[in-house]
Amino acid sequence: MAYAIEGATGPWEVVVGLEVHAQVISESKLFSGSSAAFGAEPNTHVSFIDAGFPGMLPVINRACVAQAVRTGLGLNAEIHKVSRFDRKNYFYADMPQGYQISQFEHPIVGTGIVEVELSDGSVKRIGVTRLHLEQDAGKSLHDQHPTKTFVDLNRSGVPLMEIVSEPDIRSPEEAGAYLRKLRSILRYLGTCDGNMEEGSMRADVNVSVRKAGEPYRTRCEVKNVNSIRFVMQAIEAEAARQVEVWESGGEVKQETRLFDPNRGVTRSMRSKEDAHDYRYFPEPDLLPLVLEQNWIDALKAALPELPDAKKARFRSEYGLTAYDAAVLVAEKATADFFEAVAKGRDPKIAANWVTGDFFAALNRTGKTIETSPVSAANLGALLDLMANNTINGRIAKDVFEAMVETGKDPAEIVEEKGLKQVTDTGAIDAAVDAIIAANADKVAEYRSGKDKLFGFFVGQTMKAMGGKGNPALINETLKRRLS
């Protein structure tokens, strides 16, 4: 069933469009040579251009343009060979020039498409309206002094991509799936690290509600939401508020709102009447940005495999299920890890281990792929030890736990703990004989037709052998002796 807000007058459809601000991965800023790195001491990554000094002029950073074009290509979007920068004029203490250089009328990237998978297995296509480049402002620090505001200009001029979606999103789930997919594409491309906590990705959420079949009603913009979870909560809260306003005979007014994650509500920031008049006009310090087709082609040719393509390949090449493939490609690091484990091994077993025990261990220990104590090479080696019968599946689980704890390679652990599988038929025969002798009653029951007891004998034998018995040999021996 489609998502809807149940009001007193029946169901309301939710209409959402997202504006995502993604910080471009780049050595230097959009219009100056200063470092764009995060987390430096305040005001240490600031050139005279970033500080808006008299006579300073912007020069476009070619690497940032390439990142925007690569992102556009990754979003299956139209690349505009001629785009232009505009000035967005407003005063703020952390905006040194008194204007933000952005792209208003002629963005570098036009319409594109993002496909998202939903929990019911369906796929939805969400339109991208445009992507443009713009510079970030600095940061005002209001908590450093009782009466003064401090300004940190490290972020001033840092390159951002604003990626605007069509109002195609109809539920918090779709919004979440869109953001996750977008983040995944950006990370695959290496154009944005997608870290919402550090602010390198943030979203403005446009929400309206309507009855089925109606044209769009007035929307509100919830500004600067900094996690996917909060975006989903903000949509729910804002949609519910709007339904209440409409149903109580009121009218939703176009305005900018803020989401308060502690109280789970949105509150008004400024109304349309108070909106800034940004007085956009073409930036006279920059020429129009003109891209050559062969440059675009070269960027396109060098694009990495993106999530959708990788997912299709995982299904065809490794025979994975749609679900496993989707889980494995969501993060490039996971996909790479899986492929390293699967290489030259049974891919389905590799997928089971990665999505099963391995993910569980990461969750439990709070680690990521990058910080994981178990490397892909070691997990692969563990699979090899099973494949060549050095250990059995049950022992493998124990070895894996030891790998999580110590980071050691599995052969070493097996050696140290003496976990090598016993394939010596004499030892297995002796163990089986002992179990049969100790359980004469069960043997009689089994022989009189209670087949299910076979598992009991296997378990007892394995237990007696400290788990190290080769399961196939134990089965074979038991079958022979019990028949």
Partner 1 sequence: MLTDLTIAQAQTGLRAKQFTAEELTEAHLRGIGTLNPRLNAFLTVTAEQAREQAKAADAAIAKGDIRPLTGIPLAIKDLFCTKGVRTTAASMILSPFVPPYESTVTANLLRDGAVFVGKTNLDEFAMGSSNMSSAFGPVENPWKRRQDQNAVLVPGGSSGGSAAAVSARLAMGATGTDTGGSIRQPASFCGLVGVKPSYGRCSRWGVVAFASSLDHPGPFARTVQDSAILLRSMASHDPKDSTSADRSVPDYEAACKRGVKGLRIGVPREYRVDGMPAEIEALWEQGVQWLRDAGAEIVDVSLPHTKYGLATYYIVAPAEASSNLARYDGVRFGQRQDGGDLTEMYSNTRAAGFGAEVRRRIMIGTYVLSAGYYDAYYLRAQKVRALILRDFHEAFQKVDALITPTTPSAAFAQGEKMDDPVQMYLNDLFTVGANLAGVPATSVPAGLDSNGLPLGLQIIGKPFDEETVFAVSAEIERAAGFTALPQIRAGA
Residues of the shown chain interacting with partner 1 in the complex, contacts defined by CB under 8 A: 48, 51-60, 87, 89, 91-93, 96-99, 149, 151, 277, 279-281, 284-287
Q: Which CB sits closer to partner 1, 56 or 411?
A: 56
Give the type of residue at 165: S
Q: Which CB sits closer to partner 1, 1 or 57?
A: 57
Residue 52 CB, shortest distance to partner 1, in Å, is 4
446-449 long-range Cβ contacts below 8 angstroms, 24+ apart: 446/482, 447/482
Residue 45 CB, shortest distance to partner 1, in Å, is 15
The overall longest dimension of the chain from CA atoms, in Å, is 99
Dump the DSSP string for 127-163: EEEEEEEEE---EEESSSSSS--EEE-TTTT-EEEEE
Residue 11 CB, shortest distance to partner 1, in Å, is 38
Residue 230's nearest CA partner among 166, 179, 169 is 179
Cα 470 from Cα 438, distance rounded (Å): 21
Q: Which CB sits closer to partner 1, 86 or 238?
A: 86
Q: Which CB sits closer to partner 1, 142 or 364?
A: 142
Residue 50 CB, shortest distance to partner 1, in Å, is 11
Cα 68 from Cα 162, distance rounded (Å): 10
Residue 60 CB, shortest distance to partner 1, in Å, is 7
Residue 92 CB, shortest distance to partner 1, in Å, is 8
Q: Which CB sits closer to partner 1, 96 or 194?
A: 96
**H/E run at residue 352:** helix 347-353
In terms of Cβ atoms closer than 10 Å to its own Cβ (0-12, 13-18, 19+), residue 261 is middle
Question: CA Rg, the chain, in Å?
Answer: 30
113 Cβ neighbours under 8 A, 6+ residues apart: 75, 76, 77, 125, 126, 127, 128
| Exposure string for 157-181, b = 16+ CB within 10 A, e = fewer | bbbbbbbbbbbbbbbbbbbbbbbbb
Residue 222's nearest CA partner among 268, 154, 186, 160 is 268
Residue 267 CB, shortest distance to partner 1, in Å, is 22
Residue 28 CB, shortest distance to partner 1, in Å, is 14
Residue 242's nearest CA partner among 453, 47, 7 is 7
Q: Which CB sits closer to partner 1, 285 or 398?
A: 285
Q: Which CB sits closer to partner 1, 280 or 359?
A: 280
Query: Are the C-beta atoms of 178 and 116 separated by less than 8 Å?
Result: yes
Which tokens hold the place of 269?
């920031």
Please report the sign of the dihedral spanned by the C-alpha atoms of residue 173, residue 174, residue 175, residue 177.
positive
Q: Which CB sits closer to partner 1, 62 or 452?
A: 62
Dump the DSSP string for 462-477: HHHTTT-B-HHHHHHH
Query: Are the C-beta atoms of 243 and 237 separated by less than 8 Å?
Result: no
Q: Which CB sits closer to partner 1, 50 or 174?
A: 50
Which tokens hold the place of 430?
């002796």
Residue 19 CB, shortest distance to partner 1, in Å, is 20
Q: Which CB sits closer to partner 1, 51 or 196?
A: 51
3-state secondary structure of 298: helix
Q: Which CB sits closer to partner 1, 55 or 121?
A: 55
Residue 88 CB, shortest distance to partner 1, in Å, is 10
Residue 94 CB, shortest distance to partner 1, in Å, is 9
